[in-house]
Amino acid sequence: MRIIILAAGKGVRMKSRSPKVLHPVCGKPMLLWVIEAVQGLSERVCVVLGHSAEQVKQVLPSHVEVRIQNEQLGTAHAVMSAQDFINPDEDVMILYGDMPLLKKETLMKVVDQHKNDENCVTIISTTMADPTGYGRIVRDSAGKFLKIVEETEASDEEKMIREINTGIYVFKGRALLETLPRIKPDNTKGEYYLTDAVNMLDRVGIHHVSENEQFFGVNDRVQLAVAQKLKQREILERLMLNGVTVVDPDSTYVEADVEIGCDTVLHPMTFLLGKTKIGEECVIGPMARIENCSVGNRVRIISSDCVGATIEDDVSVGPFARLREGTVLKSNVKIGNFVEVKNSKIGSRSKAQHLAYLGDATIGEDVNVGAGTITCNFDGKKKNPTFIEDGAFVGSNSCLIAPVKIGKGAFIAAGSVITEDVPEWSLAIARSRQTVKPGWVIKKREES
């Protein structure tokens, strides 16, 4: 069997510089959802491209072949562009790249019916409460297929039919190849309709599917939002059935490639993006955004933004923390409110609980970073490292001017500006001596 996915359209109604099929649904371009749905059905997959073909090619898996439809003159014309891909001795499935909700199980069932009934072509149909815009399936009095009629060509009576053509077909390769040259653009749009090929063939089967949501096609941003909502519900239901608690699915956003362990709780306004992987028994949110992070077990992340971070077991983050690319938090680390960590490794049981910036730093175990501490890592030309060894204590409102090293067990007095290395087990004080002038305020008031 071979598979052809039609994805050449410009998608004018999207009003976008990007091709329609590259617009993401739950973090994945809708075309990739369709390619995923046909995995296992065939290793021979061809995508017909037209508008911005080079841009679309960049996201395609390596096994997918490409054919180009230079002019968009209808669905049959798109298939003609891939005519050399069709094998007369094999079946060929034809479907569309803007149907991100398709289910593999449905496609497998229509293939089975097509083979068992030895049809020349088998159509997938469904029933719509409002069939406007779709081609209608016309049957005879015995319920057998008569024809497909496009809405622009349909009579008023035919427009009342609610059974529609989804546009997904399985053809015998030879039957399709013999029929394609006979299709003419004899219609109001002057296009080559693939439905004409169906109407020319004998032994036409219909595989009716009652669940019509999966055939939802995306043509504009409104429909994109609908598809996003439906796919998101599917993802969250799968997670919940696998042991994840989602407190409010309507306010929780989880993208397609995210993995979450059992007994983890997702609170409202949580956004899990990209290749994020979260372990078991975690508490995420409310108001957390986590992208491309690896999160261990029993981690708490509250009201914080995390991107490209590795977070080991039993770590606490937030509220209002920011973890940037390259952050590594070892087990039992505590990162508190208004702390930003960038490209830094923080050892087990170390803490930065308040109002700190740690950039390009390597921090050992059991280190305490006081409130208001910053690593001054940028000298105007390059980023410089800070090293804080095990057991060190950095007092509040300290500035560590990189490159600098704080030795094991060292103590930095609050308010210090550290410009030189501090040896192990030493006290460093780098601030002006306090001066007190008794009665100065009273004298100043008298003078004024």
d(CA 22, CA 14): 11
Residue with tokens 């977070």: 311
Q: Token pair of 222, please? A: 């409104």
Closest CA to 75 of 182, 172, 185, 162: 185
The amino acid at 366: D
**Mean per-residue pLDDT for 305-328?**
98
Q: Token pair of 40, please? A: 């296992």
Q: Token pair of 261, please? A: 């362990």
The amino acid at 205: G
Q: Token pair of 118, please? A: 């030895």
d(CA 394, CA 24): 45
Q: Is there a contact between 128 and 215 (Cβ–Cβ < 8 Å)?
A: no
Chain mean position to CA 35: 15
d(CA 217, CA 411): 63
- For residue 186, pLDDT beyond 90: no
Q: Check whether 184 is labelled as a binding-site residue.
A: no
Q: How many residues does the chain have?
A: 448
φ and ψ at 106, to 5 degrees? -65, -45
Q: Check whether 371 is labelled as a binding-site residue.
A: yes
Span 187-218, pLDDT tens digits: 888 899 999 999 999 999 999 999 999 999 99
Secondary structure class of 288 (helix, strand, coil): strand
The amino acid at 77: H
Q: Check whether 98 is labelled as a binding-site residue.
A: yes
Residue 218 DSSP label = P
pTM score, whole prediction: 0.92
| Run of H or E including 418 | strand 417-418
Q: Check whether 210 is labelled as a binding-site residue.
A: no
Q: Check whether 324 is labelled as a binding-site residue.
A: yes
| pLDDT of res. 448 | 78
Among 182-186, 237-241, 364-368, the range scoring the smallest mean pLDDT is 182-186
CA distances from 198 to 5, 112, 126, 158, 323 (A): 17, 19, 17, 18, 56
Hey, how many other C-beta atoms are within 10 angstroms of the C-beta on 329? 28
| pLDDT of res. 152 | 86
φ and ψ at 318, to 5 degrees? 100, -175
Hey, how many other C-beta atoms are within 10 angstroms of the C-beta on 15? 8
- For residue 381, pLDDT beyond 90: yes
Span 119-141, pLDDT tens digits: 999 999 999 999 998 999 999 99
Q: 18: Cβ–Cβ under 8 A, 6 or more apart, which residues?
A: 52, 55
Closest CA to 27 of 295, 184, 255: 255
Residues noted as catalytic: 354
| pLDDT of res. 189 | 85
Span 262-310, pLDDT tens digits: 999 999 999 999 999 999 999 999 999 999 999 999 999 999 999 999 9
Buried b (16+ CB within 10 A) or exposed e, 132-142: eebbbbbeeee
d(CA 208, CA 165): 10
**Mean per-residue pLDDT for 157-172?**
96
Residue with tokens 């914080």: 304
Instruction: Give the relative orientation of helices 104-117 and 30-37 as an angle to the nearest 10 degrees.
Output: 40
- Please name every residue paired with 25 in a beta bridge, in sequence order, or none if there are none: 28
φ and ψ at 181, to 5 degrees? -65, -15
| pLDDT of res. 99 | 97
Q: Check whether 233 is labelled as a binding-site residue.
A: no
Quote the mean pLDDT of the chain: 96
**Mean per-residue pLDDT for 46-58?**
95
Q: Check whether 173 is labelled as a binding-site residue.
A: no
CA distances from 417 to 15, 358, 423, 431 (A): 54, 15, 16, 7
| pLDDT of res. 153 | 87
Higher-pLDDT residue of 83 and 11 is: 83
Percent of the chain with pLDDT over 90: 95
pLDDT band of residue 445 (cuts 50, 70, 90) is very high
Q: Is there a contact between 107 and 17 (Cβ–Cβ < 8 Å)?
A: no
pLDDT band of residue 116 (cuts 50, 70, 90) is very high
Span 330-348, pLDDT tens digits: 999 999 999 999 999 999 9
Q: Check whether 150 is labelled as a binding-site residue.
A: yes
Q: Which domains does the chain have, with CATH numbers?
A: 2-215 (3.90.550.10), 241-428 (2.160.10.10)
Residue 413 DSSP label = P
pLDDT band of residue 312 (cuts 50, 70, 90) is very high
| pLDDT of res. 232 | 98
Q: Check whether 69 is labelled as a binding-site residue.
A: yes
